[in-house]
C-alpha cells in the first residue's frame, strides 16, 4: 500500500487506517460523528495527499483541455477553478476533477486518487491523437502534498500561518502564496459543504504545515478528520463520489453534472452526450431521505409498488441532520421531490422520499 508523507503522524494520532484505492488512509481518529461535527462547527484538517495532481503546461494546453473536458474553459480567469468531468467517447465519466488555471498555458488537474493513472493515460492518448506536441503533461502527485482545511473557523486558522490575506480570496478561486515559508497554492474550495481551503505544498513540507495548522488551530478546536467523516460531510452536502455515483458507463446527465457539460463547444464524447440530451436519459440520480427506521447503504435495491426500479449509490446516517439519507438511481419518472420509494434493507422495506439536493446547506455569513 502507498503511504502519504503524513502516515507516521496518523499512526501516532491513533487513527484507524484502511486501504483506500491502494493508499493507507485514516478512516477515523476518534469517531465519525465527532469528526463530522468538528468540521461543521469549528475546523477539520484532512490529509488529501493521495489525490492526483497533473500539470498541463505549454502552448496548446487550453486547446487540449477544451478537447478532453466537458466544461467550457473559455471564460476561465487566471486563479479561477472549474469543476469538470473527463468524458470518454461514449459520454461516460472517466473522472470528475477540478481544473486550476495558473497562466494562459499552465493548468493543474486535481483528480481522484484511484483514477489518476487512467486520466493521465487518456489525456496523453488524445494529446498524441490530436497532435498537441508542445503540451507537457506532468504527474506531480508524488511531489505534492495536499491538505484540506474545512469548517467555519478555517480562514482564521490558516491566516495565522501565512501572510497573504485570505479574506479577498473568493469561492473556487486560488492564489499562489506561501504557507509558513513554503511556496503554496491555496484555493477556497473543498468537499464538505463548509467554507474552507485546499492547500498544496511540496511533499517534503506538508508535515510541517500539518503540524503548524493543528497547533495554530488548537484554541479554535481544530481536529484531524478521517475519510469516514469526509464521506458523511460530502453526502450531506449532496456531493457525489467517483466509483459510487459515477463510472465509465454513467453519463453526466444521469447524475448531477449536466451543468458542467457544455455542449456548445466541441469535445470528446460531445456527440454521444448531445444525442443523449436530445433523447433524454432513462435514469436519474436523486437524493432521498429514509422515513422509516433503518439506514440505506451503497448497493441496496430501490422499489416502487413492489417493483425493483433502482439502486442506492451512497447512503449513510447524516450526523448534522440526524436522519438516514442517500443518493440513488431511479427512473426519470420517479425523480420529482416528494415521490415515495421503498428501499430494501435486509428483509424489510423502508419507506423513503425523494428530496431536493443538497440535504444540508450551511448558513452564509
Partner 1 sequence: MAKENPADRKYSKEHEWAKDNGDGTVTMGITDYAQEMLTDIVYVELPAPGKKVRQMETLAVVESVKSVSDVYSPVSGEVTEVNQILENQPELINQDAFGKGWIAKIRMDNPAEMNNLMDAAGYTAFLKEVEH
Q: Which residues bind partner 1 (CB under 8 A)?
A: 27-28, 30-34, 36, 228, 231-232, 293-295, 297, 316-317, 319, 324, 346
Length of the chain, in residues: 365
Q: What's the Cα-to-Cα distance from 271 to each of 215, 218, 265, 274, rounded to whole Å?
A: 52, 52, 11, 5
Query: Which of 122, 300 has the CB closer to partner 1?
Result: 300
CB of 328 to partner 1, least distance (A): 17
CB of 346 to partner 1, least distance (A): 7
**Residue 328 to residue 354: CA distance in whole angstroms:** 9
Residue 37 in grid coordinates: 461535527
Query: Which of 231, 254 has the CB closer to partner 1?
Result: 231
CB of 32 to partner 1, least distance (A): 4
Q: Are strands 283-290 and 348-355 parallel, antiparallel or unpaired?
A: antiparallel
Query: Which of 16, 282 has the CB closer to partner 1?
Result: 16
Query: Which of 163, 293 has the CB closer to partner 1?
Result: 293
**Residue 207 to residue 201: CA distance in whole angstroms:** 10
Query: Which of 36, 234 has the CB closer to partner 1?
Result: 36
Query: Which of 90, 297 has the CB closer to partner 1?
Result: 297
CB of 58 to partner 1, least distance (A): 43
Query: Which of 182, 312 has the CB closer to partner 1?
Result: 312
Q: Are strands 81-87 and 136-139 parallel, antiparallel or unpaired?
A: unpaired
Query: Which of 178, 297 has the CB closer to partner 1?
Result: 297
Query: Which of 98, 313 has the CB closer to partner 1?
Result: 313
Residue 269 in grid coordinates: 464524447
Query: Which of 21, 331 has the CB closer to partner 1?
Result: 21
**Residue 226 to residue 339: CA distance in whole angstroms:** 34
CB of 36 to partner 1, least distance (A): 8
CB of 231 to partner 1, least distance (A): 8
CB of 141 to partner 1, least distance (A): 26
CB of 243 to partner 1, least distance (A): 16
Residue 30, Cα to own-chain centre: how many angstroms? 23
CB of 360 to partner 1, least distance (A): 15
CB of 33 to partner 1, least distance (A): 4
Amino acid at each position: 500500500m502507498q503511504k502519504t508523507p503524513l502516515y507516521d503522524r496518523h499512526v501516532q494520532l491513533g487513527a484507524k487506517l484502511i486501504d483506500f484505492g491502494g493508499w493507507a488512509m485514516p478512516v477515523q481518529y476518534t469517531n465519525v460523528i465527532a469528526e463530522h461535527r468538528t468540521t461543521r462547527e469549528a475546523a477539520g484538517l484532512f490529509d488529501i495527499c493521495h489525490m492526483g495532481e497533473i500539470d498541463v503546461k505549454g502552448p496548446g494546453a487550453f486547446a487540449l483541455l477544451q478537447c478532453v473536458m466537458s466544461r467550457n474553459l473559455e471564460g476561465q480567469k487566471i486563479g479561477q477553478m472549474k469543476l469538470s468531468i473527463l468524458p470518454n467517447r461514449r459520454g461516460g465519466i472517466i473522472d470528475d476533477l477540478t481544473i486550476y488555471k495558473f497562466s494562459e498555458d499552465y493548468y493543474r488537474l486535481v483528480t481522484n486518487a484511484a483514477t489518476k493513472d487512467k486520466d493521465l493515460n487518456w489525456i496523453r492518448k488524445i494529446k498524441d491523437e490530436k497532435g498537441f506536441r508542445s503540451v507537457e503533461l506532468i504527474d506531480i502527485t508524488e511531489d505534492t502534498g495536499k491538505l484540506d482545511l474545512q469548517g467555519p473557523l478555517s480562514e482564521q486558522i490558516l491566516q495565522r500561518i501565512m501572510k497573504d490575506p485570505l479574506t479577498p480570496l473568493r469561492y473556487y478561486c486560488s492564489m499562489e502564496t506561501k504557507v509558513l515559508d513554503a511556496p503554496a497554492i491555496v484555493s477556497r474550495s473543498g468537499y464538505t459543504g463548509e467554507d474552507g481551503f485546499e492547500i498544496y505544498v511540496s511533499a517534503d513540507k506538508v508535515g510541517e504545515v500539518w503540524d503548524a495548522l493543528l497547533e495554530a488551530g488548537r484554541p479554535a478546536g481544530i481536529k484531524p478528520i478521517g475519510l469516514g467523516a469526509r464521506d458523511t460531510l460530502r453526502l450531506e452536502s449532496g456531493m457525489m463520489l467517483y466509483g459510487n455515483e459515477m463510472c465509465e458507463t454513467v453519463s453526466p446527465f444521469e447524475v448531477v453534472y449536466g451543468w458542467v457539460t457544455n455542449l456548445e463547444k466541441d469535445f470528446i464524447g460531445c456527440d454521444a452526450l448531445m444525442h443523449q440530451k436530445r433523447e433524454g436519459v432513462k435514469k436519474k440520480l436523486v437524493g432521498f431521505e429514509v422515513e422509516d427506521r433503518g439506514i440505506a447503504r451503497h448497493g441496496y435495491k430501490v422499489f416502487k409498488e413492489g417493483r425493483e426500479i433502482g439502486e442506492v449509490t451512497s447512503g449513510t446516517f447524516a450526523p448534522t441532520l440526524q436522519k438516514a439519507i442517500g443518493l440513488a438511481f431511479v427512473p426519470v419518472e420517479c425523480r420529482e421531490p416528494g415521490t415515495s420509494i421503498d428501499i430494501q434493507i435486509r428483509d424489510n422495506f423502508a419507506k423513503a422520499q425523494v428530496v431536493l439536493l443538497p440535504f444540508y446547506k450551511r448558513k452564509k455569513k
